[in-house]
């Protein structure tokens, strides 16, 4: 993988590309478009707060969804039903639930 730099009407745009051989010639396939060079540079420096706030807003969405699914299917109770009880602390089901989050 590598960065692909392309100029259009005097502006530089960046993408992530991959090069492979087709019929004896090198072909570049664009995997992901990143945007203009200025925008990528601002994000890299942390000047584009809108992009970073969007990222921070959803960083807990996946663990929350997993927790809600585990509650719906009663995962902790099912695991505890098939394991030995502990005398103190968290149960085996609770430990496994915490580890997966």
2 and 33 assigned to the same domain: yes
90: containing domain: 60-101
Among residues 48, 98, 43, the alpha carbon closest in space to that of 70 is found at 98
Give pLDDT, residue 54.
59
In this structure, is residue 53 part of a structural domain? no
43 and 80 assigned to the same domain: no
Categorize the per-residue pLDDT at 21 as very low, low, confident or very high, splitting at 50, 70 and 90: very high
Categorize the per-residue pLDDT at 77 as very low, low, confident or very high, splitting at 50, 70 and 90: very high
Which range, of 13-27, 43-57, 85-99, averages the lowest pLDDT?
A: 43-57
44 and 65 assigned to the same domain: no
Task: Answer yes or no: are the C-beta atoms of 68 and 74 closer than 8 Å.
Answer: no
**β-bridge mates for residue 15, sequence order:** 4, 33
Give pLDDT, residue 61.
76
Query: Total structural domains in the chain?
Result: 2
8 HSE (CA, 13 A, CB side): 8
In this structure, is residue 95 part of a structural domain? yes
Q: Are strands 25-36 and 11-22 parallel, antiparallel or unpaired?
A: antiparallel
Count the Cβ atoms, other than its own, within 10 Å of residue 16: 13
Q: The sheet that has 25-36: what strands, in order across it?
A: 2-8, 11-22, 25-36
* DSSP summary character for residue 86: P
* pTM, 2 dp: 0.43
């Amino acid at each position: 993988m590598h960065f692909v730099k392309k100029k259009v009407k005097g502006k530089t745009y960046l993408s992530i590309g991959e090069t492979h051989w087709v019929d004896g010639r090198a072909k570049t396939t664009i995997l992901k478009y990143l945007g203009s060079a200025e925008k990528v540079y601002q994000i890299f420096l942390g000047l584009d707060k809108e992009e970073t706030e969007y990222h921070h807003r959803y960083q807990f969405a996946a663990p929350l969804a997993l927790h809600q699914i585990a509650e719906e299917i009663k995962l902790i109770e099912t695991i505890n039903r098939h394991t030995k009880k502990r005398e103190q602390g968290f149960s085996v089901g609770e430990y496994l639930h915490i580890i997966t989050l």
